[in-house]
């Protein structure tokens, strides 16, 4: 996951943006970034788990899950 988050943009031309491998890496990086940020904030929160799961991070978890499923 850290390797994906550290990767730089490889697309430079229109053909690059149509390259399936580069698009796959971009979707992977987006999902990894959302997962990393959500879990970092979730673990740093002092609220009870039920409040975090059902209220505070509910929307962030949905966005994270949708990004992951789009990547798959």
Q: What are phi and psi of 56, to 5 degrees?
A: -60, -45
pLDDT at 48: 95
End-to-end CA distance of the chain: 15
pLDDT at 19: 85
pLDDT tens-digit series, residues 36-46: 999 999 999 99
Per-residue pLDDT of the chain (72 residues; tens, 9 = 90+): 777 777 777 778 888 778 888 888 888 999 999 999 999 999 999 999 999 999 999 999 999 999 999 988
Q: What is the length of the chain?
A: 72
């Amino acid at each position: 996951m850290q390797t994906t988050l550290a990767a730089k943009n490889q697309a430079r031309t229109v053909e690059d943006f149509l390259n399936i491998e580069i698009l796959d890496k971009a979707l992977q990086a987006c999902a990894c970034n959302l997962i990393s940020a959500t879990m970092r904030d979730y673990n740093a929160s002092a609220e009870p788990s039920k409040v975090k799961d059902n209220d505070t991070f509910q929307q962030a978890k949905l966005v994270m899950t949708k990004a992951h499923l789009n990547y798959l």
